[in-house]
Amino acid sequence: MKKRYLPYLITFIVGLFIMAGISLLIYLLDKTTDYKSAKNLVSLFMDSATATGICMVCVALIKLVAGQGVFDGLGFAVENILVVRNWSKRRFSERENFGEYKERKEQMRKDRKYINAHIYVVGAIFFVASIVLTIVYNNL
């Protein structure tokens, strides 16, 4: 039972760190706003919770799309550039064509999960938190 909720907990903690980093960045860069008032402080946390939710959902969507093989062409191109520039362990003569590369990647993707429900759930929690903070902000 503990292993089932561990990805949710880890993702939530990462989200809190992202939210804290965004809040700190806004606080340090925004010289015109006085964050000593409660309304401005709630606005700061509302903005950072929204940005964190958006980031988490976007990362989950990118992982979902990557699991379908959308970025295989880009990976093949980068790998070939590394081989040509001799930055890779593979030799130029051992190069595979795109069909072989795509088959190898399909075999690697066969056992992996790309749904990542925990990222969607935690992103939704941050969105709900930003909605609650918006309601609190409008009532202050």
pLDDT in tens, 23-63: 999 999 988 888 888 898 999 999 999 999 999 999 988 88
CA atoms within 13 A on the CB side of 64: 12
CA distances from 72 to 93, 99, 110, 132 (A): 21, 10, 14, 40
* Structural domain of 116: 2-139
The arithmetic mean of pLDDT across residues 122-140, rounded, is 92
The one-letter code for the residue type at 71 is F
In whole angstroms, what is the distance from residue 15 CA to residue 123 CA?
8
User: Which runs of E-coded beta strand occur in 2-131?
Assistant: none
pLDDT band at 66 (very low <50, low <70, confident <90, very high): confident
Does residue 129 register a pLDDT over 90? yes
The arithmetic mean of pLDDT across residues 7-13, rounded, is 92
Q: What is the DSSP letter of 32?
A: S
The arithmetic mean of pLDDT across residues 8-22, rounded, is 94
Q: Give ∠ CA 51-16-13 in degrees, rounded to 5.
A: 130
CA distances from 92 to 86, 87, 88 (A): 8, 11, 9
Write the pLDDT tens digit of every residue in 76-127.
Answer: 888 777 766 665 555 555 677 888 888 888 888 887 766 678 888 999 999 9
pTM of the model: 0.75
Q: Give the count of domains, the chain.
A: 1
The answer to whether residues 136 and 34 touch, using CB atoms and an 8 Å cutoff, is no
